[in-house]
Structure 1
Amino acid sequence: MLIAQISDIHASPGNDGLARLKRAISWLAAMQPAIVVVTGDLVNGGWREGYRQIIAALQSLACRTLILPGNVDDRTVMREAMPEAGHWGDDEKMHFAEPHGDALIVGLDTCVDGHAHGDVTEHLPWLRQTLASGPSGMPLLFTHHHVFPTGISPLDDVMCRGADALGDLLSSGIRRPIAICSGHVHRPMSSLIAGIPAYICGSICPANPLLLDPTHEPPVTDPPGLMIHDLRNGRLVSSHVSFR
C-alpha cells in the first residue's frame, strides 16, 4: 500500500503554493497512492478559498485524503471551508485514526493556539488509548511539528514539546508506530525517537536552508518535495521525492 505525504503548502494569493501543489498531485497521479496525508500549514493568513482549492485539487487523485492542521492554519476556517474532509471528531483538536489495509493511519494535532511551536503532552492519553485499543493495523503516526531536534536552532525552538514524554509512552510496551512522519521544517530529514524511525517531509513551499551552523548559511537548492511511504509485506520503506 502506498501512502503519500504532503506538507507545508503555505498557499496564499501572492505566491505559487497552489501551482506547486498541483505539480505534486500530477506526479502522484502516476503513483496512484491508496491514501494522501497532508501534515499541516496548508494556507497562509486563514485564506478560506485556498483551503477550498486545495481540497478540490486533492480530490482529483480519487483516493482518501486525511488532513492535519499546522501552526499557521485556522481550525475553524478549515472545518468550514473543507467539509469534504469529514474525518475529524467533534472536539476542538483534529486528531484522526483510520485503518487502511494493513495500516492504522494516526494523525495527532500538535498545534498550540497562537504559537508556532507544538506540544504533544496533553494528547498522550488519546494516543495511548488509540494505540492500545484502537482499530487493528500497523500504526503510522503523523504530526505537523517535528519530534526530534534537527540542529537548526530557529526551527528547534518551535518543534513539538513533550517529545521525551512521547518517547517514554512509545517505550512502555504499547503497540508502537512503525514510523513517525512530520513536517514543519520545510526540508527532508530523519532520525529516531524511542528507536522508531522519524521522518520530516520536504515542503511544497520553498525550502529552508540547512542552517546547522548559524555562521555559515548554505545556499538553498532544494526543489519542492513530498514522501511516499510503501507498506508492503509488513515492511515500511519511506522515500523522499523531489519534483519540478
Structure 2
Amino acid sequence: MLIAQVSDIHASPENDHLFRFDQVLNWLTHLQPDVLVVTGDLMDGHWQEGYIKIANRLNQQNYPSLILPGNSDDRSLLRSVWDENRWAHDAQGESLHLTHNTDGIRLIGLDSTIDYKDYGSVTDHLEWLDNQLSDAYSPPSLLFLHHHVFASGIPTLDETMCRGLPEMEDLIRRAPARLLAISSGHVHRPIAGTFAGIPAYICGSVCPANPVWFGTVNAPPANDPPALIIHRYVSNSLTSHHVCV
C-alpha cells in the first residue's frame, strides 16, 4: 500500500508553483501510488481558477486524491470545485475532515484550520477524532492534518503550530484503535519527530522550501526542489520516505 502525500502548493497567478506541482505528479506516474493526500495550502489567495486547475490535474491521475484545507485555503471555493460528499463534517459543520479505508489501513484527515488565522487548532474537533479512534477492531490508521504537532525549531512557524495538542495527545494515548503515525504540512520543510509516543512527520512543500533556521542571526540558504512523502504500509509496518523531485 503506497500513500503519497503532498502539501503546500501555494499556487497563484503570480508564481510557477503549478509547474512545480506538475513535476511532482510526473514523478508519481512512475510510482503509481494507491492514493494521494494533499495536506492543505493549495492556493495563495482566493483563486478559484487555481483550484480548478489542480482538480483537473488530479482527475487525470489513475489514483484517488483526498484534500484537506490549510490556513491559506478558502473552504467555500474548495466546496465549489470538489464534491461536498468527499468530506466528513463534525458538530461545527464547516470543517472538512475526511476518512478513507483502503487495503487494510484507514486514512483520517483532520481539518485543523481556523478562518483568518495562520495557526491551527484541534480543540473543537477532538470529539470527532475520538469517534474515529474508538474502535479497537478498526484497521490501523494514519492521521493527516495541515498544521504541525511538534516543534520544528523554526521560531516563526512554531508560533503557528497546532493548538489543543495536550488534549489530543491524551486522546491518542488512550484510544483503543492503533494509530501508526501523524503527518502534516505547513512548515515547508521535511522534518521527522514524535507525538504521543508515535512517529510524526512534516511533509516538505511543493512551493519553495523554508531554510533550516533556528532563530540565529544568519539563515542558511534553501534551494530544495519540490518535495513529498511516500508512506508505505506493508505487512503491518509503516515506513515513510521523504522525496525531492
With the shorter chain as reference, the TM-score category is: over 0.9
- Give the superposition deviation at 1:134: 9.3
Could you list the structure 1 runs, at least 4 aligned residues long, displaced by more than 6 angstroms after superposition. none
Alignment partner of 1:87 is 2:125: no
Residue in 1 aligned with 2:29?
Answer: 29
Tell me if structure 2 keeps the 8 A contact 1:103–1:138: yes
Residue in 2 aligned with 1:146?
Answer: 148
Give the partner amino acid of 1:5. Q
Report the aligned-residue RMSD: 1.4
C-alpha distance in structure 2 between counterparts of 1:89 and 1:175, whole Å: 19
Give the partner amino acid of 1:240. H
**TM-score, structure 2 normalization:** 0.95
- Give the superposition deviation at 1:232: 0.4
Alignment partner of 1:10 is 2:23: no
* CA separation of 1:134 and 1:58: change in aligned 2, threshold 3 A: farther
- Give the superposition deviation at 1:60: 2.0
C-alpha distance in structure 2 between counterparts of 1:135 and 1:109, whole Å: 24
C-alpha distance in structure 2 between counterparts of 1:53 and 1:29, whole Å: 18
Tell me if structure 2 keeps the 8 A contact 1:104–1:135: no
Residue in 1 aligned with 2:65?
Answer: 65
Moved more, 215-224 or 40-49: 215-224
- Give the superposition deviation at 1:209: 1.0
Residue in 1 aligned with 2:227?
Answer: 225
Tell me if structure 1 keeps the 8 A contact 2:133–2:175: no
C-alpha distance in structure 1 between counterparts of 2:233 and 2:212, whole Å: 29
CA deviation map 1:181-232 (0-9, x unaligned): 1000000001000111000000000001111133121111211100100000
C-alpha distance in structure 2 between counterparts of 1:53 and 1:174, whole Å: 40
Residue in 1 aligned with 2:134?
Answer: 132
Tell me if structure 2 keeps the 8 A contact 1:229–1:236: yes
- Give the superposition deviation at 1:239: 0.2
Matched residue pairs, number? 242
Give the partner amino acid of 1:68. L
Tell me if structure 1 keeps the 8 A contact 2:134–2:176: yes
* SS of the residue 2:3 aligns to: strand
* CA separation of 1:13 and 1:93: change in aligned 2, threshold 3 A: same
Tell me if structure 2 keeps the 8 A contact 1:109–1:144: yes
Residue in 1 aligned with 2:206?
Answer: 204
CA deviation map 1:9-38 (0-9, x unaligned): 000011011111111000001101000000
C-alpha distance in structure 1 between counterparts of 2:122 and 2:225, whole Å: 30
Which ranges in structure 2 are unaligned for 5 or more consecutive residues?
none
Moved more, 208-217 or 111-120: 208-217
Tell me if structure 2 keeps the 8 A contact 1:147–1:163: yes
Tell me if structure 2 keeps the 8 A contact 1:98–1:135: no
C-alpha distance in structure 2 between counterparts of 1:173 and 1:210, whole Å: 34
Tell me if structure 1 keeps the 8 A contact 2:51–2:78: yes
Which ranges in structure 1 are unaligned for 5 or more consecutive residues?
none
- Give the superposition deviation at 1:135: 8.5
* SS of the residue 1:9 aligns to: coil
